[in-house]
């Protein structure tokens, strides 16, 4: 289980590294503009605002990614918040995919999906693996959720049916075996991947 999660985390880090560096560079470069221009006597504070603002917003991006990364590296809380985990993975894998011009939409219902009684480690692993598989399949994805009393369902779907080549790839059988042992149902149907978590 631990090895599978470390492998998934490694994949997430690899994908998001460029985005973190890019955002950090945005901070550094814009701070440098502010630093060098503010040293000149004839420069007004207003003219620096744009660059200070840009540095600040890039810093927000770095903070969000760092927080998501830290959250995923900590042991998960019991019961696991499915929505929060999806948001953390999206802040990293989704951000990297969006930088590659992919369209990833998380529908509002995701936040209402609640928690699961399944092992938080396994549930988190399944969410991470499913998100990566779905992002690899298409350039245009939508993630929706169905809260229910018996179980909560997450579904990734290639928007508009997609092309034939855009079928969601298979998830590692070892992950699927762990999911089954915890009562998590994973169903793949061509361009759709759905996961049902026990309540």
Partner 1 sequence: MKHEKAKILIADDEQAITAGLSAILADEGYAIDIAPDGQKALERLSEDRYGVILADLKMPKLDGLSLLRELQAKQIPTECIIITGQATVDSAVQAMQQGAYDYIEKPLNADKLNRLKALIPKALEKFNVQQKNRELTSRIEGLTHYGELTGQSEAMRGIYQIIDAVAPSNASVLILGESGTGKELVARAMHAKSERAKGPFFALNCAALPKEILENELFGHEKGAFTGSTNEKPGAFEMASGGTIFLDEVAEMSPDIQVKLLRALESRQVRRLGGKKEISVDIRILAATNKDLQKAIAETELREDLYYRLAVVEIVLPPLRERTDDIKLLADEFLHRYASQNGKQITDFDAAAWDWILSYHWPGNVRELKNAVERSVIMARGDTISVTDVMPRHLRVAGEVPTSVTIPVGSSVNDARRQLTLRTFASTGGDLARTAKLLGTSPDEVRRDVMGLLSDAGAGASSEAGGSGEEASNGKHSLPDLMSAARPTAPAKKPLPKKR
CA distance 42 to 39: 9
Select from 5, 12, 58, 118 the one that contacts partner 1 (CB under 8 A): 58
99 near partner 1, rule: CB under 8 A:
yes
Q: For the purposes of burial, counting CB atoms within 10 Å of the CB of 195, is it exposed (0-12), middle (13-18) or buried (19 or more)? A: buried
Q: Given the complex with partner 1, which of 101 and 164 has the nearer CB atom?
A: 101
Strand partners, 141: 104, 158
Q: Given the complex with partner 1, which of 25 and 189 has the nearer CB atom?
A: 25
Q: Given the complex with partner 1, which of 35 and 163 has the nearer CB atom?
A: 35
Q: Given the complex with partner 1, which of 60 and 185 has the nearer CB atom?
A: 60
Select from 38, 54, 144, 192 the one that contacts partner 1 (CB under 8 A): 54
Site string for partner 1, 13-52 (x = CB under 8 A): ----xx--xxxxxxxxxx-xx-xxx------------xx-
Select from 1, 49, 57, 105 the one that contacts partner 1 (CB under 8 A): 57
Stretch that binds partner 1, among 53-61, 68-76, 121-129, 161-169 (CB under 8 A): 53-61
CB of 99 to partner 1, least distance (A): 7
Contact criterion met (CB below 8 Å) for 55 and 31? yes
DSSP 8-state secondary structure symbol assigned to residue 170: P
| Token pair recorded at residue 51 | 């660059």
3-state secondary structure 112-139: HCCEECCCHHHHHHHHHHHHHHHHHHCC
CA distance 70 to 93: 14
Q: How far is CA 61 from the centre of its chain?
A: 13
Q: Given the complex with partner 1, which of 43 and 170 has the nearer CB atom?
A: 43
Q: Applying CB under 8 A, what is the total number of residues that bind partner 1? A: 26
CB of 21 to partner 1, least distance (A): 5
| Token pair recorded at residue 142 | 């939508």
DSSP 8-state secondary structure symbol assigned to residue 106: E
Strand partners, 140: 103
Q: Given the complex with partner 1, which of 101 and 150 has the nearer CB atom?
A: 101
Residues that bind partner 1 (CB under 8 A): 17-18, 21-30, 32-33, 35-37, 50-51, 54-55, 57-58, 99-101
């Amino acid at each position: 289980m631990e090895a599978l999660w470390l492998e998934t985390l490694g994949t997430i880090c690899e994908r998001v590294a460029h985005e973190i560096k890019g955002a950090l560079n945005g901070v550094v470069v814009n701070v440098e503009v502010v630093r060098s221009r503010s040293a000149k006597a004839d420069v007004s504070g207003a003219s620096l605002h744009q660059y200070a603002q840009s540095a600040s917003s890039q810093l927000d991006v770095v903070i969000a990614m760092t927080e998501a990364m830290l959250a995923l590296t900590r042991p998960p809380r019991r019961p696991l918040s499915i929505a929060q985990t999806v948001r953390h993975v999206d802040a990293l894998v989704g951000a990297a995919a969006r930088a590659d011009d992919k369209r990833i939409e998380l529908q509002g219902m995701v936040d209402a999906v609640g928690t699961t009684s399944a092992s938080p480690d396994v549930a988190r692993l399944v969410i991470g693996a499913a998100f990566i598989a779905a992002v690899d399949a298409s350039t245009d994805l939508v993630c929706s959720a169905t809260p229910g009393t018996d179980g909560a369902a997450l579904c990734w779907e290639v928007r508009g049916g997609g092309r034939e080549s855009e079928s969601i790839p298979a998830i590692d059988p070892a992950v699927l075996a762990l999911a089954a042992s915890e009562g998590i149902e994973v169903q793949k149907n061509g361009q759709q991947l759905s996961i049902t978590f026990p309540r």
